[in-house]
Amino acid sequence: MTDDGTTAAAAAGTLGYEQARDELIEVVRRLEAGGTTLEESLALWERGEELAKVCRHWLEGARARLDAALARPEEPSEAGGTD
């Protein structure tokens, strides 16, 4: 069995953020609707946890990229000379 970070990283390689988010929305909808067996509900819950980790992985990666971009010193604009 792999740890949560490895599982999310592996799943993120195959699922894009939007795909994982959309599937997670469907999982939540099915759980909230009820009418599933305990076994089905547990399987849905586990899938939802996996999908949430994938989404979190993508969002953390996006945050890191934004933080890195914001931390870079500003480059002078090419057209921004003084008159």
Share of the chain above pLDDT 70, in %: 73
The residue ranking higher by pLDDT, 81 or 51, is 51
**Could you give the residue ranges of the DSSP H alpha helices within the chain?**
4-14, 17-33, 38-71
Distance CA 35, CA 5 (A): 32
Tokens coding 9: 């990283």
Task: Count CB atoms within 10 A of the CB of residue 46.
Answer: 11
Comparing CA positions, the residue from 32, 22, 26 lying closest to residue 58 is 22
Residue 2 has what pLDDT?
Answer: 44
Q: What is the per-residue pLDDT for 12?
A: 54
Instruction: Please say if the pLDDT value at position 5 is more than 80.
Output: no
> How many Cα atoms sit within 13 Å of 8 on the Cβ side?
18
- The pTM (predicted TM-score) of the whole model is 0.70
Phi and psi torsions of 51, nearest 5°: -65, -40
